[in-house]
A and B are shown apart, each in its own frame.
Chain A
Amino acid sequence: MANKIINFLSFCGLTWFIPFVRLCAGENPKDQVRDIITVIGIPIIAILIFLGFWSFTAAQIKTSLGNLPGPVAVMESGRTLMDEHAAERTKEQAFYERQEQRNAKKLAKNPGAEVKIRKYTGKPTYIDQIGTSLFTVFTGFLIASLIAVPIGVICGLNKYVMTAFNPLIQIFKPVSPLAWLPIVTMVVSALYTTTDGWFEKSFITSAITVALCSLWPSLINTALGVASIDKDYINVAKVLKLGFFEKIFKIVLPASLPYIFTGLRISLGVGWMVLIAAEMLAQNPGLGKFVWDEFQNGSSHSLARILVAVFTIGLIGFMLDRIMVVFQKFVSFGQDVVSA
């Protein structure tokens, strides 16, 4: 049992918790405590030093919006944001309850009456904004993957295609999202003309910008993975005279999955980083817009609230990366993969 948990934890890269599991399983407590002190104690000390340094320096820096907030102020802002979220949800619930009661009354008076169901139009809370950002980044990431993996496979299979794509890849790879955004905005405005579409224009613009910036690592890694498939695998495919699609789905893709997932992992990281900038400019109601609005707002709490966003962005980015690591390990069949 304990071993299973330990295997699972190390599989997910959550090695921090392993000594605790061992301790609970009654394995040589002395060793485990020493392990806990090294794997957790040291990072905690480092974090404490960082917090101390931060509050000290922050107090020295005066901005037009007051002092740079220290850890305590940021914590408080975080709590306020959660409270605002809770309050907004209560209001929303109250709104729907009232609407329901109204409609029920109407129907009681006249069963044939036409009842209107309106959507609550409160302003999005911090949690809503996190949700929007996640949805946007996953959409962009999905678009990127759907483009990058097939092209990568073709590039990896055929060195002429690779030679053809290579200059384009090299040129577009380093382009910043800020450069893409105006172009994407104009193109989306020109092509996406329905006003009652499923998605906001700002959402589409942000997602496409994320896709444009994040598809390159997936493309390059997929091509590399496919090109470096064991020659013998390809030879087996030739001896068996497998058809093109059977070869791709039964051999090429499974064999290069570790590389593909390395690429996807980098892409998701890049996408998340790019998203914030894209949302700021495109005014997509996510974390980027939150940061921008707070900056424009310029109240005394703004900097603390932005710092909450900074930590949120960091933690979510970290979690996304861990999730990708799990996938990556899951598909690599005991082969070692590069992980950083």
Chain B
Amino acid sequence: MKPPMLEIVNLKKVYPTKKGPFVVLENFNLKVDDGEFIAVIGHSGCGKSTALMMIAGLNDISDGNIAVNSREIDGAGPDRAVVFQSPSLFPWMTTLENVMLGVNRVYPHGTKKQREDICKYYLNKVGLGSALNKKAVDLSNGMKQRVGIARAFALKPRVLLLDEPFGMLDSLTRAELQDVLLEVWNKEKITAIMVTHDVDEALYLSDRVVMMTSGPYAKVGDVLHVPFERPRTRHNVNDDPRYYDCRGHLLDFLNGHDKDKTPEGLASDDDSKTATDSKNSNKSGPKSSHRSSHAQKELKYV
């Protein structure tokens, strides 16, 4: 049994605020195997980005440990590539130069030609083979995020960290990019952790979905193993009879941990109970389970 590629033990994050220390994460535990694709979902503000940036080494750890490949992390490094929500390409560089910047660091001994070939390979993979010399400022958002993906994979990281990478895109581009990401990932099988707020995206891409409880003191509340075989197509996944069960599971969790426990929130507590009930009673009919949880969701947001 190989040791996990990423191991997070009792991770804690405290932000000092004007009103005193604010504990975002506490007792956050997670083990990720080599080549596993993890999706992280949770309500906005629960600490998903905080956790991800701590793994990246871009945010200090208050307590606990993060180890990559059995070695404790020490600051940021190219072994943990990050795809940010905003593409954060350098607009004064071309597509190729943006990817080269990282590749130059990671392959300092290669010739310029070799390094360029690496960049071109990944840029081709994300469908930008013909836009190598375009200035990043002239690319559409979707294209920018393609470069972001190429830039991250080109580093050959041990762990790939994605923080809602498609959050800013329209649904069509988003679906395109999910396919691009999945295709490149199928080739490379790099351990990946992706924060998303899109349940369908999580199910399409990941092997496991980690559900975080709402903050403060957020931790891993539940983990769902996604049963669909790889390689996946959107069609196969959506048509899988288990799909609605999985989807219902995630939505139920999110509804059960609704962020605002306002007076109306009492109703949501009731909802979550019925949600669990309906989940239990609806084992036989996955479609109806999905529908009922969907209906609850709508109910709540009216």
Cβ of B167 under 8 Å from chain A: no
Q: Verify A239–B81 contact, CB threshold 8 A.
A: yes
A240 to B75, CA, bound (A): 11
Q: Verify A238–B91 contact, CB threshold 8 A.
A: no
Cβ of A230 under 8 Å from chain B: yes
Given known A-B contacts A233-B88, A235-B58, A235-B84, A240 and B137 have beta carbons under 8 A apart: no
Given known A-B contacts A239-B76, A239-B82, A232 and B105 have beta carbons under 8 A apart: no
A239 to B151, CA, bound (A): 12
Closest to A255 in B: B90
Q: Verify B101–A240 contact, CB threshold 8 A.
A: yes
Cβ of B301 under 8 Å from chain A: no
Cβ of A124 under 8 Å from chain B: no
A259 CB to closest chain B CB, in angstroms? 14
Closest to A233 in B: B88
Cβ of A91 under 8 Å from chain B: no
Most B-side CB within 10 Å, residue of A240, A250, A334: A240
Closest to B105 in A: A240
Q: Give how many A-B residue pairs fall within 8 Å (CB-CB).
A: 56
Interface residues on B, range: 20 to 34
Cβ of A236 under 8 Å from chain B: yes
Residues 246-282 of A, flagged 1 when their CB comes within 8 A of B and 0 if not, give 0000110011000000000000000000000000000
Q: Verify B101–A241 contact, CB threshold 8 A.
A: no
Given known A-B contacts A240-B101, A241-B77, A232 and B137 have beta carbons under 8 A apart: no
B141 CB to closest chain A CB, in angstroms? 14
Given known A-B contacts A235-B58, A239-B82, A240-B101, A333 and B77 have beta carbons under 8 A apart: no
Query: Considering the complex, which residues of chain B in the window 88-132 have a beta carbon less than 8 Å from any beta carbon of chain A?
Result: 88, 90-92, 101-102, 105
Query: Considering the complex, which residues of chain A in the window 276-302 have a beta carbon less than 8 Å from any beta carbon of chain B?
Result: none
B57 CB to closest chain A CB, in angstroms? 7
| Neighbour of A254 across the interface among B78, B88, B90, B155, CB < 8 A | B90
Q: Verify B58–A239 contact, CB threshold 8 A.
A: yes
Query: Considering the complex, which residues of chain B in the window 199-218 have a beta carbon less than 8 Å from any beta carbon of chain A?
Result: none
Cβ of B86 under 8 Å from chain A: yes
Cβ of B80 under 8 Å from chain A: yes
Q: Verify B77–A239 contact, CB threshold 8 A.
A: yes
Cβ of B56 under 8 Å from chain A: yes
Closest to B80 in A: A239
Shortest Cβ-Cβ A-B pairs, 9 listed: A232-B88, A238-B76, A333-B91, A254-B92, A333-B137, A239-B76, A232-B84, A240-B105, A240-B102
Cβ of A58 under 8 Å from chain B: no
The prevalent SS among residues of B at the interface is loop
Complex interface: chain B residues within 8 A of A334 (CB) = 91, 137
21 contacting pairs across A/B (C-beta < 8 A): A230-B86, A232-B86, A233-B88, A235-B58, A235-B76, A238-B57, A238-B58, A238-B75, A238-B76, A239-B56, A239-B76, A239-B78, A239-B102, A240-B78, A240-B155, A241-B77, A255-B90, A333-B91, A333-B92, A334-B91, A334-B137
Cβ of A86 under 8 Å from chain B: no
Interface residues on A, range: 10 to 19
Given known A-B contacts A254-B90, A333-B91, A334-B137, A241 and B78 have beta carbons under 8 A apart: yes
Most A-side CB within 10 Å, residue of B78, B90, B105, B135: B90
Cβ of A242 under 8 Å from chain B: yes
Complex interface: chain B residues within 8 A of A239 (CB) = 56-58, 76-78, 80-82, 102
Closest to B75 in A: A238
Q: Verify A250–B75 contact, CB threshold 8 A.
A: no
Residues 67-81 of B, flagged 1 when their CB comes within 8 A of A and 0 if not, give 000000001111011
A257 CB to closest chain B CB, in angstroms? 8
Q: Beyond A241-B77, A333-B92: 14 further Cβ-contacts under 8 Å?
A: A232-B88, A233-B88, A235-B84, A238-B75, A238-B76, A239-B76, A239-B80, A239-B81, A240-B78, A240-B101, A250-B90, A333-B135, A333-B137, A335-B91
A316 to B57, CA, bound (A): 52
Closest to A235 in B: B58
Q: Verify B105–A241 contact, CB threshold 8 A.
A: yes
A209 to B79, CA, bound (A): 51
Closest to B92 in A: A254
Residues 13-44 of B, flagged 1 when their CB comes within 8 A of A and 0 if not, give 00000000000000000000000000000000
Complex interface: chain A residues within 8 A of B57 (CB) = 238-239
Complex interface: chain A residues within 8 A of B84 (CB) = 232, 235-236
Complex interface: chain A residues within 8 A of B91 (CB) = 333-335
Closest to A239 in B: B76
A4 CB to closest chain B CB, in angstroms? 18
Closest to A241 in B: B77
A251 to B105, CA, bound (A): 15
Complex interface: chain B residues within 8 A of A236 (CB) = 82, 84, 88, 90
Q: Verify A250–B77 contact, CB threshold 8 A.
A: no
Q: Verify A233–B90 contact, CB threshold 8 A.
A: yes
Q: Verify B90–A242 contact, CB threshold 8 A.
A: no
